[in-house]
């Protein structure tokens, strides 16, 4: 079965689906995701101890992502890292950059796909769900709300064009 383009019949596919979901749905950076330790995962939340700028924060985890992570936890090898190779070693972020390119081509996606794009997409979706910008900013770990605003604004300029072009005179 494919979940987020990953073949979940394989252990690495289960892991990859959990990583992709976590970056997208919890708006984590790839480095934050791959640095996680099993003790950082608390089911409905994850503790980021060393985010960008060495800032720590707690982020929420939705039910579907939790299910993917819990499935991975049952089959993962013994490791210091939550997401690891099948030998238990740390995964290099370049693995996911290559995987995203492969998934993009395999799924016929025209627009460039990359791990950090999942973070932007997740933030935009939260905004579409009317989550207050300050909460989105906290989830992303931004110290300045204008950074969060720029994430959201650049993703859908079509909405601005649509609203303006349909205004009555």
Question: pLDDT tens, 127-143?
Answer: 888 889 899 888 888 88
- pLDDT higher than 80, residue 1: no
> What dihedral do alpha carbons 85, 3, 120, 49 form, nearest 10°?
-40
Per-residue pLDDT of 24-72, as tens digits, reads 999 999 999 999 999 999 999 999 987 777 788 999 999 999 999 999 9
Per-residue pLDDT of 59-85, as tens digits, reads 999 999 999 999 999 999 999 999 999
Beta bridge partners of 7: 2
Mutual angle of helices 63-75 and 11-25, in 10-degree steps? 150
Catalytic residue ranges:
29, 52, 116, 119, 142, 151
Count of domains in the chain?
Answer: 1
- pLDDT higher than 70, residue 158: no
Residue 6's pLDDT band (cuts 50, 70, 90) = low
What does the alpha-carbon distance between residue 66 and residue 157 come to, in Å, rounded to a whole number? 32
What does the alpha-carbon distance between residue 153 and residue 93 come to, in Å, rounded to a whole number? 27
In terms of Cβ atoms closer than 10 Å to its own Cβ (0-12, 13-18, 19+), residue 39 is exposed
CATH number at residue 78: 1.10.443.10
Residue 141 belongs to domain spanning: 2-165
């Amino acid at each position: 079965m494919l979940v987020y383009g990953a073949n979940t019949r394989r252990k690495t596919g289960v892991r990859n689906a959990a990583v992709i979901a976590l970056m997208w749905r919890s708006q984590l950076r790839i480095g934050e995701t791959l640095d996680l330790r099993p003790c950082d995962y608390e089911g409905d939340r994850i503790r980021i101890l060393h985010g960008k700028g060495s800032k720590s924060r707690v982020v929420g985890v939705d039910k579907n992502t939790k299910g993917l992570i819990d499935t991975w936890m049952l089959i993962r090898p013994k490791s210091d890292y939550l997401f690891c190779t099948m030998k238990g070693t740390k995964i290099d972020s370049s693995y996911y950059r290559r995987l995203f390119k492969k998934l993009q081509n395999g799924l016929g996606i025209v627009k460039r796909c990359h791990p950090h794009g999942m973070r932007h997409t997740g933030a935009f979706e939260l905004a579409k769900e009317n989550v207050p910008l300050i909460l989105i900013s906290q989830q992303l770990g931004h110290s300045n709300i204008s950074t969060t605003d720029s994430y959201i604004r650049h993703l859908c300029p079509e909405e601005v064009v649509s609203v303006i072009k349909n205004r009555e005179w």
